[in-house]
């Protein structure tokens, strides 16, 4: 058990809808990262928050947004969903932000768009 909790485990919804994925980091970790994993693209970094502030952005679509709350949990919001958004979404956390801070992953949310 990595200590990173993600809910829900599965989400099934339709095109055009909006969903929210939730992540609770490991106790003591201030950084939260969001990744998307698909069969053809592998693990793709979306966005990072550190202690409530956005720290880095990757290949995140404008339809997607995230935030980190004062209790350090994070939410990833996906809107105007398209079939191509079907994927596994992972959250990871680390103590800090540098390369000497290994990231620990949750078990992901599987999103299926019908």
Partner 1 sequence: QKEVEQDPGPLSVPEGAIVSLNCTYSNSAFQYFMWYRQYSRKGPELLMYTYSSGNKEDGRFTAQVDKSSKYISLFIRDSQPSDSATYLCAMYRSGYSTLTFGKGTMLLVSP
Could you say which residues in the range 60-99 bind partner 1, by CB under 8 A?
90, 92, 97-99
* Options 13, 55, 67, 73; binder of partner 1; rule CB under 8 A: 55
| Min dist. Cβ of residue 104 to partner 1 (A) | 6
Report d(CA 114, CA 86) in Å as an integer: 9
- By CB under 8 A, residue 53 contacts partner 1: no
Contact 37, 43 (CB under 8 A): yes
Nearest in space to 74 (alpha carbons), one of 55, 93, 60, 58: 93
* Options 78, 85, 106, 113; binder of partner 1; rule CB under 8 A: 106
Task: Provide the binding-site residues for partner 1, judged by CB under 8 A.
Answer: 2, 4, 6, 31, 33, 42-43, 45, 48, 50, 55-56, 58, 90, 92, 97-108
């Amino acid at each position: 058990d990595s200590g990173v909790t993600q809910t829900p485990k599965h989400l099934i919804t339709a095109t055009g809808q909006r969903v929210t994925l939730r992540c609770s980091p490991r106790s003591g970790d201030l950084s939260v990262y969001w990744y998307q994993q698909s069969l053809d693209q592998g693990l793709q970094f979306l966005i990072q928050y550190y202690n409530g502030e956005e720290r880095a952005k990757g290949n995140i679509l404008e339809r997607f947004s995230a935030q980190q709350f004062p209790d350090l949990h994070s939410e990833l919001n996906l809107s105007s969903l398209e079939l191509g958004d079907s994927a596994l979404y992972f959250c990871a956390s680390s103590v800090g932000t540098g390369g000497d801070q290994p990231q620990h992953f949750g078990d992901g949310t599987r999103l299926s768009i019908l």
